[in-house]
């Protein structure tokens, strides 16, 4: 009989997603205008935002966001909440890649 060995538990704290996703309120900014704000303490590199579904947005190059910086995104679509998701991709200073799904 073989014994299965489990990996040791990590003592490292979980990484908190550094993003706040803001939608335009219709007064200060149009409702199809979104901001992806870096609330974390780190500079984040190669930040991209991709849409999946029927929503559309202009293409943009990867960005580097310092703590407190925001990426402005204009997204159009009939019912984003029903048929579109966003995917944020970024790299931390240590080179680790992360993905975060956004629902509307």
Q: What does the pLDDT profile of the chain (104 residues) look like in tens digits? A: 677 888 777 788 899 999 999 998 888 888 899 999 999 999 999 999 999 999 999 999 999 999 999 999 999 999 999 999 999 999 999 999 999 999 98
User: Domain spanning 19-103: which CATH class is it, in words?
Assistant: mainly beta
Q: How many CB atoms lie within 10 A of CB 64?
A: 13
pLDDT at position 1 is 63
Which letter does DSSP use for residue 31 in this model?
T
For the chain, how big is the Rg over CA atoms in Å? 17
Long-range CB contact pairs, 95-104, < 8 A, 24+: 98/15, 98/17, 100/17, 100/19, 102/21, 104/55, 104/80
Dist. CA 73–CA 86, nearest whole Å: 11
Q: Where are the alpha helices (DSSP H) in 1-104?
A: 80-83
Q: Give 52's contacts (C-beta < 8 A, 6+ positions apart).
A: 84, 85, 86, 87
């Amino acid at each position: 009989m073989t014994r299965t060995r489990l990996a040791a538990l990590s003592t490292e704290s979980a990484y908190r997603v550094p993003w706040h996703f803001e939608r335009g309120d219709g007064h200060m900014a149009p409702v199809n205008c979104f901001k992806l704000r870096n609330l974390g303490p780190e500079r984040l590199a190669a930040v991209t935002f991709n849409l999946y579904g029927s929503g559309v947005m202009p293409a943009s190059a990867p960005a580097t966001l310092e703590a407190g910086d925001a990426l402005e995104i204009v997204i159009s679509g009939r019912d984003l909440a029903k048929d579109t998701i966003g995917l944020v991709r970024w790299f931390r200073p240590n080179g680790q890649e992360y993905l975060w799904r956004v629902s509307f």
